[in-house]
Amino acid sequence: MSHTHTHVHESQDQLKEALDTLKQTGVRITPQRHAILEFLVESMIHPTADDIYKALEGKFPNMSVATVYNNLRVFREVGLVKELTYGDTSSRFDFVTTEHYHVICETCGKIVDFHYPGLDEVEQLAAHVTGFQISHHRMEVYGTCAECNHKDMH
């Protein structure tokens, strides 16, 4: 079974769960919201509101960037989407899936996800050592992506 197939299956499940969450919280699922969520679930690049707008304006000619923002805010409030702000670049939006970490390119600002299950122990250890009740943690790794690295060599 090819890797891409499992990813498609996974994103369908994630989308279904997200839509269920919206239903439970009483958020109306409009075609636009459905499309925005679907785009976020399938997009691995943490799009900006602008990216989402550009990707969907063909389907929804009367949609504005403001509509996209408003919908993203709704998703953020019910905990489906995280807003990632890195420095002064416009916010990127990340569909909240299983705990994952970000590697960020210091040159072009690209953010890539990676999973590292071993770090869950950090929370247990932190709780044990400090007596805190831990809600979550985040880790960011910085470097230069392959494309930017390649450019530098020329």
Same domain flag for 114 and 81:
no
Q: What's the CATH number where 116 sits?
A: 3.30.1490.190
Same domain flag for 19 and 72:
yes
Q: What's the CATH number where 91 sits?
A: 1.10.10.10
Same domain flag for 33 and 65:
yes
Same domain flag for 19 and 91:
yes
Helices (H), the chain: 3-24, 31-42, 49-56, 65-77, 120-130, 146-153
pLDDT digits (tens, 9 = 90+) for 7-61: 556 677 788 888 888 888 888 889 999 999 999 888 867 889 999 999 999 999 9
How many other CB atoms sit within 10 Å of the CB of residue 45? 12
Please tell me the distance from the alpha carbon of residue 134 to that of residue 111, in angstroms, as a whole number.
25
Domain with 67, as residue range(s), is 3-95
Predicted TM-score (pTM) of this structure: 0.59
pLDDT digits (tens, 9 = 90+) for 92-138: 888 776 556 788 899 998 888 776 666 667 878 888 899 998 777 77
